[in-house]
Structures are given as C-alpha cells and as structure tokens.
C-alpha cells in the first residue's frame, strides 16, 4: 500500500467578473423568503408528478408507464420560460432533455451538468408510514417532502433555477453550458433509454474528451467527519455485476428425501459465498487514499494513532482494520457481496428440482468483472467436484474430474451447478484530484460553503448515469452540493419520508450559479 501524493487545499474561488450579479443574486435575491419559496415550490410541484421508473419496463413508446414523463417535460417548460426561450432545448428519445446554453468562445470545451427526472417506486406497503403522502410534494417551510425530492429532482430544479437567475441578470457565458437530464437512471442496469441516448448524442456532437468536465449527482456532498466539514466529490465509482447461482437436482416426493434438497445445497453455497468475501485493498489509484491523507492533515478530531497510521504509511494493517471495521468504509476498498434474491420450491410435499440466488456485486477499483467470475469458479469448483455436480460457469461446462456423464446420471445426489452473469460494468476511470479542473471545483465549493471546508475526492460505491459518459471527459465528479447536516436524521433517498431541506436546496442553487461563473472565467490550459 502506497499513499497518494498529497495535494494542497486550493484557495477560495469566487467569480471576478460581473460583481453586480454577485450583489444582485448571491447578496440579495438568494436571501429572500420569496425566492426561497419560489424554488421550494418548483421542486414541490415537480415531486407531485410521479415519474416512476420500474424494473423491466418496456420500450419508450410501447410501455404506457413512460407517458407521465410528458407531463413532467411540460411542467419544466412552464416553470422555466426564460430558460426555454434562451437555451436550445432538445428532446432525446421522447423524454431525455438536453439544454444547451451556447458560449461565445467556441474553442472552450463545454461544462456539462447531469441529472435525472425519474424516481424509484414509493412502495404501497409503506405508504402509511410516510409523514405526508409520497407524491404530495408537501412543503412545510423547512422541507420539501416526497419521492424524488432529494434523488434527483432537487439537482435538476437547482441547476435550472441557477441558470434562470443568471439569464435574468443578462449573463452571457463564454463557455457553453449543457444540462443533460435522463429519465431512467433508477430503472435497472440492463438497458438505458435516457442517459445512453443522451451520451451518444453528445459524443457525436463534441467527440471523445470533447467536454471540459462533467458534474453529476452523488451523496450529499458536505458532511462532518472527525469534527471537520468535508466536501466529498466522487472521482470514481465501482463496477457492477449480478451473478445468478442455480442448483438443479432430481425431484421427487418429499416423503423420501435425499440428504440435501436443491435448497439445502443452495444454503451451503450461500454460506460459502458469504464466508469468503473479496479481499480489501488500499491501492494507489483509489481516491479513498487521497481522502484519508487529506483527513489526516486537516481534520480537527482524528484519533492520533489513526492519523499517524495514515501519514507514516508504516501501519497498513491498522489502516485496513480501520476501513474494514465499518461497512460503509469497507465498501470503499472491497468488492461487495450481497445475496439479495432467492427462489426455489413449488409445494411442501414436492422436492424442489431447482433453486437459485441472485448476488449483487459492486466491483472495487482493484478488481474486475473477470476477477469476480474467477472468484466464483475457484470457490464453487471444489464444492461441485466433491459432490459430483456438473459446473456450468458463465457459459462454459466444467465437468467434475474422474466423473463421466453415465456416472453422474446414476448418482442420485448429483446435479448441475450453473453460474450466469448479468450486466457487467468495469470500475470507472479515476479523475485526478491533482488536475486543475478539480482545483476549480474545490475552490468553488470553498467559496460557497466556507474556507474551513476540506475538499477531498471519494469513491462512489453505487453507480450513476455517468457510466455512459466516460468517453466525453476524463474529469467526472459526482456530488450533490448541499450540507447533509441540514437533515439531522440523515438523507432519506430511496426510503420512507424522502425529503429535501430548503436550506440544502438553496445551497445547490448557489453552488451551480457560482460554478458556472468560475469555470466560465478560466481557460483550463492557462491554470
């Protein structure tokens, strides 16, 4: 393990040009109750439109469940007339929205913001548990309540509100600004009708690495750790693979069972999988290492033994033990394993002929899709051999040694063990925290949230729509720019009582407003 080189915390950055905009918007407008309520109601009314994406939805134009997105697009047009009059707004594949604010300097690569308008279902079984109905969009003066209020309509409304404010002041960008809004980010990994089509359009238009930098959703970006406020834009995200493990054995009447049914065999396999996790590693290109270094240098209340373990690089085991002691930290450095779905059995007096599990993996930066498959083969191959099972591993048959098909067919307890993979995504490229574009982001964050905020890159354990945008820019950041402390009960995305604090929403508007201006004033090659 080798710690990343430390980068110095950048200075606070504020826009230098058009100080009248700073006075008019940041100093005055953003502080008014009327503007706060305007933005809150924009979000609240967007939440009332149930733009739900379900798993397994049919093609756009064929599945009527997509039709609600027409209502959402109409709502945005009516809510932001100035944006629609001044920007080029394109509809991609029926419900994807591409906003282009053309800059005066064509040789400056565009700044790209991403968001998505779809939400996960609220769940009928939990409807009664919500403080307010999940699609009420209720605004109580402190929070906007409802599904999608945080993930991710808050970002979209904040982006468009910031642009609207700049347009009202007559701001004309030098650098083109793009907002790319997808509509099926929550719809599962197998197919994308939104982000994929949007990314293909942008790649055709601007070419490989034709975008200066990309900013998409992520965790609530400013949170307290070690007694210190940290802003944590993710500069990489883990890979993804689902693995189905299926056991097939002869059936029969339950009155004369074998020692193990298909479900019994599957239980052995589940235990094997969970008892043999992937190895935790702190590799050099994992942004978690840079975060740890920054935390050790700048945090106010880190335990001294941990601080020294990070700074000295002499205690790798102590550092690994610290990361492994908490599941959130562990996920940053290990390929995760989650046995999420199990199926098997039809009737109580009938032996199950097959049983299966679906296992989700988020692939750590040091691993790969192939490494996950090899892990299964190495782990379950000996199990199958010992029990004379035929192993079909990811499309290839591996019959047990010293066993013929005839012998297998005459062994009552023998069967088939099949491994299949669904949706394979390698870990993302890592955006460098030493790049001048990261310094622009970090400086703007400090300008909005305060110079005492420590900015450090982090690994995102989930996946965003940026997986389709990797070829557009080497610098991709994932973060929702608001303080998590505004909701003391923690973020509530994807669960009961999802809500967005109005203070956080206003911070998002402020950030997008300032980031557009800061990046507009800088030619990257000159930084």
Would you call 200 a catalytic residue per the annotation?
no
Q: How far apart are CA 149 and CA 141, in angstroms?
A: 14
- Bridge-based pairing of strands 228-231 and 454-455 is parallel
Rounded mean pLDDT of 402-425? 67
**pLDDT confidence of residue 191:** 67
**pLDDT confidence of residue 386:** 95
Is pLDDT of 412 > 50? no
Domains and CATH numbers, the chain: 19-52+72-238+428-526 (3.40.630.10), 239-279+334-425 (3.30.70.360)
300 alpha-carbon distance from chain centroid: 29
* Best CA proximity match to 335, nearest among 292, 369, 380, 310: 369
| Residue 151 marked in a binding site | yes
Local confidence band at 257 (pLDDT 50, 70, 90 cut-offs): very high
Whole-angstrom CA distances from 484 to 41, 133, 227 are 21, 23, 14
| Residue 386 marked in a binding site | no
| Residue 374 marked in a binding site | no
Yes or no: say if 96 and 181 are a contact pair by the CB < 8 Å rule.
yes
Yes or no: say if 433 and 2 are a contact pair by the CB < 8 Å rule.
no
Rounded mean pLDDT of 245-266? 96
Would you call 217 a catalytic residue per the annotation?
no
pTM of the full structure: 0.92
**pLDDT confidence of residue 484:** 87
Yes or no: say if 244 and 273 are a contact pair by the CB < 8 Å rule.
no
**pLDDT confidence of residue 493:** 74
**pLDDT confidence of residue 125:** 74
**pLDDT confidence of residue 488:** 72
**pLDDT confidence of residue 401:** 46
| Residue 324 marked in a binding site | no
Is pLDDT of 327 > 50? yes
Rounded mean pLDDT of 176-188? 93
Local confidence band at 315 (pLDDT 50, 70, 90 cut-offs): confident
Rounded mean pLDDT of 192-200? 94
E strand residue ranges, 325-484: 338-344, 350-351, 354-363, 390-393, 396-398, 416-425, 454-455, 458-460, 476-483
Q: Please report, rounded to a whole number, the percentage of residues in the chain having pLDDT higher than 90.
A: 86
* Tokens standing for residue 72: 């959402």
**pLDDT confidence of residue 411:** 41
Radius of gyration from C-alpha coordinates of the chain: 26
Average pLDDT, the chain: 92
**pLDDT confidence of residue 188:** 63
Q: How far apart are CA 518 and CA 527, in angstroms?
A: 12
Is pLDDT of 526 > 90? no
Per-residue pLDDT tens over the stretch 89-134 = 999 999 999 999 999 999 999 999 999 999 999 977 788 899 999 9
In a 10 Å sphere around its CB, with 0-12 CB exposed, 13-18 middle and 19+ buried, how is residue 318 labelled?
A: middle
Q: How far apart are CA 443 and CA 225, in angstroms?
A: 20
Per-residue pLDDT tens over the stretch 458-504 = 999 999 999 999 999 999 999 999 998 888 776 677 789 999 999 99
Is pLDDT of 410 > 60? no
Q: For residue 152, say if its preceding peptide bond is cis, omega within 30 degrees of 0.
A: yes
Contacts with 116 (C-beta within 8 Å, 6 or more apart), sequence order: 152, 156, 181, 182, 183, 184, 185, 186, 194, 195, 217, 465
Per-residue pLDDT tens over the stretch 276-314 = 999 999 999 999 999 999 999 999 999 999 999 999 867
Report which of residues 404 and 111 the model is more confident about: 111
Instruction: Give me the catalytic one of 150, 184, 185, 367.
Output: 185
202 alpha-carbon distance from chain centroid: 21
* Tokens standing for residue 376: 């299964």
Contacts with 96 (C-beta within 8 Å, 6 or more apart), sequence order: 180, 181, 182, 183, 193, 194, 195, 197, 198
What is the DSSP code (8-state) at residue 14?
-
Is pLDDT of 397 > 70? no
The DSSP annotation for 419-452 comes to: EEEEEEEPPPPPPPTTSHHHHHHHHHHHHHH-TT
| Residue 216 marked in a binding site | yes
Is pLDDT of 2 > 70? no
Q: How far apart are CA 452 and CA 456, in angstroms?
A: 13
């Amino acid at each position: 393990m080798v710690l990343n080189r430390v980068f110095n915390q950048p200075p606070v950055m504020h826009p230098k040009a058009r100080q009248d905009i700073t006075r008019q918007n940041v100093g005055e407008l953003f502080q008014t109750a009327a503007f706060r309520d305007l933005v809150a109601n924009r979000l609240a009314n967007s939440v009332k439109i149930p733009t739900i994406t379900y798993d397994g939805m049919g093609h756009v134009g064929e599945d009527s469940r997509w039709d609600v997105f027409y209502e959402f697009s109409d709502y945005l047009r009516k809510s932001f007339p100035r944006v629609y009059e001044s920007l080029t707004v394109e509809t991609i594949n029926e419900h994807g929205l591409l906003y282009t604010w053309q800059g005066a300097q064509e040789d400056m690569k565009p700044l790209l913001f991403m968001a998505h308008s779809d939400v996960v279902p609220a769940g009928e079984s939990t409807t009664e548990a919500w403080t307010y109905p999940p699609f009420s969009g209720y605004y109580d003066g402190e929070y906007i309540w409802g599904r999608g209020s945080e993930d991710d309509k808050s970002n979209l409304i904040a982006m468009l509100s910031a642009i609207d404010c700049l347009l009202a002041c007559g701001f004309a960008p030098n650098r083109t600004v793009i907002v790319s809004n997808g509509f099926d980010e929550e719809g599962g990994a197998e197919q994308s009708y939104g982000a994929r089509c949007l990314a293909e359009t942008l790649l055709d238009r601007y070419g490989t690495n034709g975008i200066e930098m990309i900013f998409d959703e992520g965790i609530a970006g400013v949170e307290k750790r070690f007694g210190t406020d940290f802003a944590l834009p993710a500069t990489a995200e883990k890979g993804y693979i689902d693995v189905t493990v299926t056991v097939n054995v002869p059936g029969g009447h339950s009155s004369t069972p074998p020692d193990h049914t298909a479900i019994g065999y599957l239980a052995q396999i589940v235990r094997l999988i969970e008892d043999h996790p992937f190895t935790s590693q702190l590799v050099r290109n994992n942004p978690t290492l840079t975060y740890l270094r920054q935390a050790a240098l700048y945090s106010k209340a880190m335990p001294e033994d941990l601080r020294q373990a990070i700074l000295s690089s002499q205690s790798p085991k102590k550092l690994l033990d610290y990361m492994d002691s908490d599941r959130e930290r562990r996920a940053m450095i290990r390929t995760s394993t989650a046995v999420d779905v199990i199926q098997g059995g039809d009737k109580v007096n009938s032996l199950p002929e097959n049983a299966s599990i679906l296992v989700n993996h988020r692939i750590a930066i040091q691993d790969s899709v192939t490494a996950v498959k090899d892990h299964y083969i190495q782990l379950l191959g000996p199990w199958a051999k010992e029990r004379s099972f035929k192993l079909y591993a990811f499309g290839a048959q591996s019959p047990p040694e010293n066993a013929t098909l005839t012998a297998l067919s005459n062994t009552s307890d023998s069967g088939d063990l099949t491994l299949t993979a669904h949706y394979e995504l390698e870990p993302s490229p890592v955006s460098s925290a030493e790049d001048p574009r990261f310094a622009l982001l970090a400086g703007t964050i400090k300008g909005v949230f305060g110079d005492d905020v420590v900015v450090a890159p982090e690994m995102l354990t989930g996946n965003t729509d940026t997986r389709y945008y990797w070829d557009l820019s080497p610098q991709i950041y994932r973060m929702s720019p608001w303080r998590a402390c505004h909701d003391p009960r923690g973020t509530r995305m994807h669960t009961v009582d999802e809500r967005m604090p109005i203070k956080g929403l206003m911070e998002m508007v402020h950030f997008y407003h300032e980031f557009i201006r800061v990046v507009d004033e800088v030619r990257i090659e000159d930084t």
